[in-house]
Chains A and B, each alone.
Chain A
Amino acid sequence: MRFATRAFLWSFIPFALLLAGSFWVIQQRVQTTVRGGLRSSLREAHMSMARLQKENELQNSRFLQIVAENPSLKAGLQLLLSDRKSGAAQRTVEDQLREIAETLRFDFLLISNSDGLPLAGIVRVDDQLVALDIHRLAPPQQGFFTLGGSTYQVASFPIDTNSENIGVLSIGERFDLSELSTPTVLARNGKVLRSSVPNASAAELEAALGRCGERAECETQLAGGTYLTLAADSIDFGDGYTLRSLQSVDSVSDPVQGVLRKVFLFASLGALFAAAALSFFSSRSIVRPIGAVVASLRESELTGTLPTFQTTPQTIQEIRELTESFNRAAATVHESRESLQQAYEEFVGSLASSLDARDDYTAGHSRRVSEYSCVIAEEMHIGDRDLEVIRVGALLHDIGKIGVMDSVLRKAGKLTGEEVMLVQQHPSIGRRILEGVRGFQVYLPIVELHHENWNGTGYPLHLCDVKVPLGARIVHVADAYDAMTSARPYRSARCHEDAMLELKRFAGVQFDPGVVQALIRAEQKGRINRVAQDPAPSRRLLSVSRAAAERESLEGSMLEGKLG
């Protein structure tokens, strides 16, 4: 996981969680508040309903008492009581009741005797006052009463004469839910009689209210919405009747929820952007200095040198500490590497010196070849790293001669075929010696192939032109030049000019022409002469024999390639 991603997630996820949590809490609060408000409004409606009911009852009772005090009605009742079988008497009372109902606009009137037995009654059906079939009906004296699809609310008043109760007058009015301010359901024993709840069938209402059971206040599902319902239990409606008001919770809470949702949508989008931007900038401010450090480390991986970081007081403290400790570590590594390098150089130098020390003639040869090679390589614009390889490789190029007997190497006379074979083995021997040393692998091509010729007549592998590594070709030229300009037991040193001529002559045959050209350029700049003259051998034999010349060609530059 990238540092930037991590920073983003760490800043965004808590943000999102906090937002979601507060959204949830607020939504719950709103729901609770809305429900509470709804409950209290329902309760208020119920209270006003109950109050209205009480007021009505009081008013009604005053004025209905007067109705019950109607003397002609009393006379009618007395007539009916005295002659209960007479249809005319019943009709007379019914007629009286009709008159009262017409005048006072009642929907239901019933006279019962003092035991509550109905004697005569009328009811308004389809705007017609019709006589009640009192033998079949048992209307209550208080509360609700359903007849022919209409529900009546009934109140009863005693009819007294001479302080004696002779009967009861029940007065009813059609119960109309539309007078109530809240949607209301009138039910009897779970069956819906009247409803002013919009868009809800009786069956749906029955199912919804059935879930509420006996609870006065409950929440129920109706037509896909949540409804809060409250039973009007402060009023007694009589036998099995319940009056419940219903209020849709959704219709009240939905607008609030909608607004909330909108607010939270915007808030969350804003927060998302804010979190994204903040985490982006914060992660970048952290990552950038680290990135700079990483980049320079990566570069140092390519160059092989450990970088040193510059810090300023403005640098972030952690980064400064990091770079400072890195710098200290790098310094230590650098130091140890330098001492290792020194030890290595000394070792290589001592190896070369030990070879050179076997023979006066070859004293300083390895060091000189190394110097010439470096000059040529510089002339050919070879990079520092390869130059270093060439320098050390040139120092070690004749190391294989350790494995060649002194008698052969120092033989002043002509070498036998067997001896030539032995001498020619020295590159392979050198390779075998150095193979075991880790870190010397890079020098193996120079050591093994510095006697390969441009035309493929060299040894040991007979490679030609560019198949031979450049380092080996350079060392080949440098070796030949030094061999020619140095004295040998079998010949004296040749002069510089001769040597150069020889090299030019065999450029493209024995030597890489490019390398020879580079040598010529270096020579023209005066770099070869100076080098050559510097370490002059302590003593030189002036006598030159034929044998020496042959030897020269063998172990040195193989000037006469055909002899190879």
Chain B
Amino acid sequence: MLGRVLRSALLILAVGAFLRANDIDGTIVVQHKLTKRKVTASADLYQRGAAVKLGADREQDPLDYERSHVVVYVEGDLPSSPITAELAQQDRRFSPDLVVVPAGSTVSFPNMDPIFHNVFSLSKAKSFDLGNYPQGKTRTVVFPKPGIVFVDCHLHPNMSAVIVVTPNRWSTKADASGRFVLPDLPPGTYTVVAWHKAAGFFRKTVRVTDAGNAAVEFVIPLGEDGAVQEARK
């Protein structure tokens, strides 16, 4: 985390030397729930022995959840700065269930549960199989190519996580209110991409000038029948 901050600071300094950079301030608008997520755990889960942490989720607004699961990044051959991220297995879940890393980053998969997990992915961007490993053990994977990587567990079909490998360092997740900031972009025209697991990709072109921060709004729309409409530009 500290490394990432430092690297970003260096980049900003380097760009800022000859060009004044500006942010893209964005908003994600989600009008409807996009995933059929069980917010409340079934009673049976309580009987499984190990406690299940549900606190935050139970109270969470479904739309907040949707908004906070939208990944935003900038397309284009911009400089990347690989980082190290963690995707733990805890309480039979991946935690967090959505990780955004720039290409070339390393993700570790520590097992926090007293049972075995078997993490694997069959995605095109990166396929891997870490095998069975018990509590306390961890395995790491490097993601050199950008793309969407779905992560599963052989032993627990319920477990699922997504790693979004972005082409450069300008990538983020929206917050619960749908706001995001892509900071310090040099002036120019960019294609900003918003991705949601269920709704797919949304693209918008944004011009970043010296004049100030650019703004962008993504409306993740729904058709009359409730199906997500593709809105690609």
Say how far A420's CB is from chain B's closest CB, in angstroms.
155
Cβ-closest chain B residue relative to A74: B154
Asked if residues B47 and A102 are in contact (CB atoms below 8 Å), the reply is: yes
Contacts of B156 in A (CB 8 A): 72, 96
From B13-21, B26-34, B113-121, B173-181, the one touching the partner chain is B113-121
Instruction: Give A127 to B44 CA distance when docked, in angstroms.
Output: 10
Contacts of A72 in B (CB 8 A): 153-157
Tell me the B106-124 residues at the A interface (CB within 8 Å). 114-116, 118
B233 at the interface (CB under 8 A from A): no
Instruction: Give A306 to B48 CA distance when docked, in angstroms.
Output: 122
Asked if residues B114 and A88 are in contact (CB atoms below 8 Å), the reply is: yes
Give the contacting residue for B115; candidates A71, A88, A103, A127; CB below 8 A.
Answer: A88
Total interface residues on B, using CB and 8 Å? 20
Tell me the B29-66 residues at the A interface (CB within 8 Å). 42, 44-45, 47-49
Cβ-closest chain A residue relative to B43: A102
Tell me the A83-102 residues at the B interface (CB within 8 Å). 86, 88-89, 91-92, 95-96, 98-99, 102
B127 at the interface (CB under 8 A from A): no
Instruction: Tell me whether A102 and B48 are in contact in the complex, defined as CB-CB below 8 angstroms, given that A75-B118, A79-B132 are known contacts.
Output: yes
Contacts of B229 in A (CB 8 A): none
Contacts of B48 in A (CB 8 A): 95, 98-99, 102, 129
Say how far B22's CB is from chain A's closest CB, in angstroms.
49
B135 at the interface (CB under 8 A from A): yes
Instruction: Give A39 to B195 CA distance when docked, in angstroms.
Output: 72
Instruction: Give A79 to B132 CA distance when docked, in angstroms.
Output: 7
Contacts of B153 in A (CB 8 A): 72
Total interface residues on A, using CB and 8 Å? 19
Give the contacting residue for A103; candidates B44, B92, B116, B134; CB below 8 A.
Answer: B44
Asked if residues B115 and A102 are in contact (CB atoms below 8 Å), the reply is: no
Asked if residues B154 and A92 are in contact (CB atoms below 8 Å), the reply is: no
- The listed residue with most A CB atoms (<10 A of its CB), out of B45, B48, B49, B132, is B132
Contacts of A92 in B (CB 8 A): 115-116, 155
Instruction: Give A219 to B209 CA distance when docked, in angstroms.
Output: 101
Asked if residues B135 and A88 are in contact (CB atoms below 8 Å), the reply is: yes
Asked if residues B154 and A102 are in contact (CB atoms below 8 Å), the reply is: no
Instruction: Give A89 to B133 CA distance when docked, in angstroms.
Output: 9
Contacts of B115 in A (CB 8 A): 88, 91-92, 95
Asked if residues A91 and B114 are in contact (CB atoms below 8 Å), the reply is: yes
- The listed residue with most A CB atoms (<10 A of its CB), out of B47, B118, B155, is B155
Name A's interface SS: helix
Cβ-closest chain A residue relative to B48: A98
Asked if residues A89 and B157 are in contact (CB atoms below 8 Å), the reply is: no
Instruction: Give A515 to B131 CA distance when docked, in angstroms.
Output: 163
Say how far B154's CB is from chain A's closest CB, in angstroms.
5
A364 at the interface (CB under 8 A from B): no
Tell me the A45-103 residues at the B interface (CB within 8 Å). 71-72, 75-76, 79, 86, 88-89, 91-92, 95-96, 98-99, 102-103
Say how far A411's CB is from chain B's closest CB, in angstroms.
162
Contacts of A91 in B (CB 8 A): 114-115
Asked if residues B116 and A88 are in contact (CB atoms below 8 Å), the reply is: yes
Contacts of A88 in B (CB 8 A): 114-116, 134-135
Name B's interface SS: loop
Asked if residues A79 and B47 are in contact (CB atoms below 8 Å), the reply is: no
Give the contacting residue for B155; candidates A79, A86, A102, A103; CB below 8 A.
Answer: A79
Asked if residues B135 and A102 are in contact (CB atoms below 8 Å), the reply is: no
Give the contacting residue for A79; candidates B45, B49, B92, B116; CB below 8 A.
Answer: B116
Contacts of A71 in B (CB 8 A): 154, 157
Tell me the A128-177 residues at the B interface (CB within 8 Å). 128-129
- The listed residue with most B CB atoms (<10 A of its CB), out of A91, A103, A127, A129, is A91
Instruction: Tell me whether A86 and B134 are in contact in the complex, defined as CB-CB below 8 angstroms, given that A72-B157, A96-B155 are known contacts.
Output: yes
Instruction: Give A303 to B121 CA distance when docked, in angstroms.
Output: 143
Q: Residues 88-122 of chain A: 1 if any B CB is under 8 Å from the residue's CB, otherwise 0?
A: 11011001101100110000000000000000000
Instruction: Tell me whether A129 and B157 are in contact in the complex, defined as CB-CB below 8 angstroms, given that A75-B118, A91-B114, A91-B115 are known contacts.
Output: no
Cβ-closest chain B residue relative to A98: B48
Tell me the B148-171 residues at the A interface (CB within 8 Å). 153-158
Say how far A213's CB is from chain B's closest CB, in angstroms.
44
Asked if residues A128 and B47 are in contact (CB atoms below 8 Å), the reply is: yes
Contacts of B132 in A (CB 8 A): 75, 79, 89
Say how far B126's CB is from chain A's closest CB, in angstroms.
21
Cβ-closest chain B residue relative to A130: B49
Instruction: Give A99 to B155 CA distance when docked, in angstroms.
Output: 11
Give the contacting residue for B47; candidates A75, A76, A86, A129; CB below 8 A.
Answer: A129
Contacts of A96 in B (CB 8 A): 155-156
- The listed residue with most B CB atoms (<10 A of its CB), out of A88, A89, A91, A99, is A88
Instruction: Give A99 to B158 CA distance when docked, in angstroms.
Output: 10
Instruction: Give A129 to B49 CA distance when docked, in angstroms.
Output: 9
Contacts of A76 in B (CB 8 A): 116, 155
Instruction: Give A91 to B115 CA distance when docked, in angstroms.
Output: 6
Tell me the A253-294 residues at the B interface (CB within 8 Å). none
Cβ-closest chain B residue relative to A89: B116
Cβ-closest chain B residue relative to A95: B115
Instruction: Give A71 to B158 CA distance when docked, in angstroms.
Output: 13
Contacts of B116 in A (CB 8 A): 76, 79, 88-89, 92
Q: Residues 451-488 of chain A: 1 if any B CB is under 8 Å from the residue's CB, otherwise 0?
A: 00000000000000000000000000000000000000
Contacts of B47 in A (CB 8 A): 98, 102, 127-129
Instruction: Give A89 to B22 CA distance when docked, in angstroms.
Output: 53
Contacts of B157 in A (CB 8 A): 71-72
Instruction: Give A147 to B156 CA distance when docked, in angstroms.
Output: 29
Cβ-closest chain A residue relative to B115: A92
Contacts of B92 in A (CB 8 A): 95
Say how far B92's CB is from chain A's closest CB, in angstroms.
8
Say how far B28's CB is from chain A's closest CB, in angstroms.
34
Asked if residues B114 and A75 are in contact (CB atoms below 8 Å), the reply is: no
Contacts of A79 in B (CB 8 A): 116, 118, 132, 155
Contacts of B118 in A (CB 8 A): 75, 79
Instruction: Give A256 to B48 CA distance when docked, in angstroms.
Output: 56
Q: Residues 379-400 of chain A: 1 if any B CB is under 8 Å from the residue's CB, otherwise 0?
A: 0000000000000000000000
Contacts of B155 in A (CB 8 A): 72, 75-76, 79, 92, 96
Say how far B132's CB is from chain A's closest CB, in angstroms.
5
A-B contact pairs, 18 of them (CB 8 A): A72-B153, A72-B154, A75-B155, A76-B116, A76-B155, A79-B132, A86-B134, A88-B114, A88-B115, A88-B134, A88-B135, A91-B115, A95-B48, A95-B92, A96-B155, A99-B48, A102-B42, A102-B45
Given A71-B157, A72-B156; 14 other pairs, CB 8 A cutoff: A75-B132, A75-B154, A76-B155, A79-B116, A79-B118, A79-B155, A89-B134, A92-B115, A92-B155, A96-B156, A98-B49, A99-B48, A99-B158, A102-B45
* 8 nearest A-B pairs in the assembled complex, by CB-CB distance: A102-B44, A92-B115, A92-B116, A88-B134, A75-B154, A91-B115, A79-B132, A72-B157
